[in-house]
Amino acid sequence: MNRGPDGKRRSVTIHDVAREAGVSRGTVSRVLNGGHYVSPAAQTAVNNAIRRTGYVVNRHARSLITGRSDSVAFLLTEPQERFFEDPNFNVLLRSCTQALASQDIPLLLMIAGSEDERRRNLRYIQAGHVDGVLLVSSHSGDPVAGELQAAGVPVVACGKPLGQQARIGYVAADDREGARDMVRYLHASGRRRIATVSGPPDTPGGVERLAGYRETLAECGLPADDLLIATGDYSRASGEQAAELLLRRAPDIDAVFVASDLMAQGVLDALARAGRRVPEDIAVGGFDDSPAAVSTRPALTTIRQPWDRISKEMVRMLLARIGGEEPAALILPTELVRRDSA
Amino acid sequence: MNRGPDGKRRSVTIHDVAREAGVSRGTVSRVLNGGHYVSPAAQTAVNNAIRRTGYVVNRHARSLITGRSDSVAFLLTEPQERFFEDPNFNVLLRSCTQALASQDIPLLLMIAGSEDERRRNLRYIQAGHVDGVLLVSSHSGDPVAGELQAAGVPVVACGKPLGQQARIGYVAADDREGARDMVRYLHASGRRRIATVSGPPDTPGGVERLAGYRETLAECGLPADDLLIATGDYSRASGEQAAELLLRRAPDIDAVFVASDLMAQGVLDALARAGRRVPEDIAVGGFDDSPAAVSTRPALTTIRQPWDRISKEMVRMLLARIGGEEPAALILPTELVRRDSA
DNA sequence: CTGAAAGCGCTTACAG
DNA sequence: CTGAAAGCGCTTACAG
């Protein structure tokens, strides 16, 4: 954008570049779009002209004709306020932004906290203002994924969208295997009464991590015991309550696998209040490796979710879908991070 | 977006609406843009036609002609990784998104972590792809505000941009008065050896909160003593180190005003390790009222920054600037939140 | 390989 | 108050 003689913004257009380079506007456009069917001489002339004039393509004009917006939405559906305060979310949003930026694709941030906002955002997306959607739903049963898919909008979800008919592409950490790793580790370090605090049963993490816990107990020859299982809602307070419940029902536990670091913080609080030492009396294992994990005392042994990679793969998959590829599910391995709590 | 007979996306255009309503495209456009100079009858006909056809305006076509993009950037310049993990940032980003969404203005999230990204984002913005910028810089001395301003792009910053020639609009909490409130409160509750952990001297919070501390000490007739002042970088670890330093230099302190909740967490850690009881031996006051404030033990007495209102006002001010209004500085009052640490 | 031309969907003076 | 027309800046067949 420059200033014209009238003082108003006047951008240099493809026309100016064409004149400067001594070619037609069509040729400039061809150079801009990959340089196919353009002679080396014309290439050079145009590129020089672009440099000299400081030309930048007008995306609106381009989008008007191509029908693509060359932008992508990051849609956060958030029945629970809490979700936004989840440090994991930060990492995700940031990595997605950067992965997209490296391809010069802007990210539109959309938050659907209320039904009203959900509808507004849906309308916006369906109007074709973005080429695709990175979907982050805290809970499943969220119809938005299906609605977008039905509208023909490419979608990639973070985590497996539960209860969806449509085959939606998604990227997720291997929740089940992560849980298994942690429980195996607790068992290997000599624990025999291993309890768990699971997440909500309508979330993939709630389901899969619990399943991993159960399977590993069985593999280790430890008896299944429902008294050892408490359920939280991923909040710190719910972790606290779950631990109290566990302590009442099974005072002899010597380990707890907690399905999120935030809940593990609550567990640590409850344990401290009950006078149990961690890890001496009771080992505590978390899940996520969120920033919370290093701020607890003792620091949390946990399972790392590869957020950075998840984001990159989500972006890659979405771009592929926009390019016409079919949906896929990508499961990424987790990693056990040993610190002090187990 | 509908599907045309060829299976390709085909949107209903202003043309379809015009035909359906029995008016010209110009009239439809006038209805769309406020309904001036349109007869009530035409109004109704067009509105009905819009409803029937499911018409949604093509923003690219509109932008091409108006020269506006009807979108706004949220630019985060982030020399320090840490900043993104600041819970305050979440609240800010979220409120801005929602304030904008209520006016149907999408927010483009841009992160400038490296010099390279800074340049890329600057170029994008200068190309006129957004109408204005909400600027969130963790540190001052950041040239980006001036550069944007110079390019004629409306900018509103979060917090006072230090060391800027240009008169840039900004919204900020009243750092100085907030600090004064806290120190007055500590003094009123009987403390007489009040130390402080200040923020970096190149941030407005670092400067202003320290100034407020100093002023209030003087007002209360307490002697100025540089041994009572330690400086951190807003990180938890720096709070810990600062507290250790303070304890060494002035073991008789009975209160600490800490310029951020995150640093206050570190102070609490150090105090606990030193065997000092909070608040019995030493009262601790924070700043921010971030989520961290309720998760500490004891819970933090602190100064609330009105993030929600800051965001709303930033959006309002940016929209006003885009509309041609001159820059302004808006200072919002803070609030003392009493909990257990002081 | 290249130019002339049509056209994307809208807004906005310009007449009436 | 309303319609016909020009034009925003670009891409893309279409001829050559």
Residue of A65, A69, A109, A130 to mutate when probing chain B, most B C-beta within 10 A: A109
A117 touches chain B (CB under 8 A): yes
**Residue A5 pLDDT:** 38
Q: Does B80 touch chain A (CB under 8 A)?
A: no
Superfamily (CATH H level) for A175-304: Response regulator (3.40.50.2300)
Assess whether the previous peptide bond of A161 is cis (omega < 30° from 0).
no
Winning range, highest mean pLDDT, from B11-20, B65-74, B243-252: B243-252
Cβ atoms within 10 Å of B141's Cβ, excluding its own: 12
Dump pLDDT digits (tens) for B132-168.
999 987 666 678 888 888 888 999 999 888 777 668 8
- Give the least confident one: A14-18, A105-109, B35-39: B35-39
pLDDT, tens digit (0-9, with 9 covering 90-100), for A90-116:
888 888 998 999 888 999 999 888 888
Distance CA B163, CA A217 (A): 61
Cβ count near A286 (within 10 Å) = 32
Asked if A2-57 and A175-304 have one fold, the answer is no
- Judged by DSSP in three states, B81 sits in helix
Task: Compute the Cα dihedral for A245, A246, A252, A256 and give only its sign.
Answer: negative
CATH T-level topology, domain B2-57: 434 Repressor (Amino-terminal Domain) (1.10.260)
- Residue B123 banded pLDDT, cuts 50, 70, 90: confident
CATH, range A72-173+308-332 = 3.40.50.2300
Could you please state the CATH topology (level 3) that the domain comprising B72-173+307-332 is classified under: Rossmann fold (3.40.50)
**DSSP letter assigned to residue B140:** S
Q: Residue B163's closest CA among B150, B175, B151, B145?
A: B145
Question: What are the residue boundaries of the structural domains of chain B, listed by start?
Answer: 2-57, 72-173+307-332, 175-304
Beta bridge partners of residue A173, listed in sequence order: A332
Chain A and chain B share a number of CB contacts under 8 A equal to: 119
Interface of B with A in 272-291 (CB under 8 A): 291
CA distance A215 to A287: 17
pLDDT digits (tens, 9 = 90+) for A50-96: 898 888 888 999 999 998 899 999 999 876 555 556 667 788 888 89
Q: Tokens 């200072």 map to which residue?
A: B331
Q: End-to-end CA distance of chain B: give it in Å, rounded.
A: 59
Residues of chain A with Cβ-Cβ distance to B120 below 8 Å are: 101, 104
Which of B11-25, B267-281, B323-337 is least confident?
A: B11-25
Indicate the Cα dihedral angle B156, B160, B165, B166, nearest 10°: 20
Hey, what's the torsion of the CAs at A202, A208, A210, A213, to 10 degrees? 180
Q: Which helix (H) or strand (E) is A9 found in, with range?
A: strand A9-10
* Rounded Cα distance, B28 and B13, in Å: 10
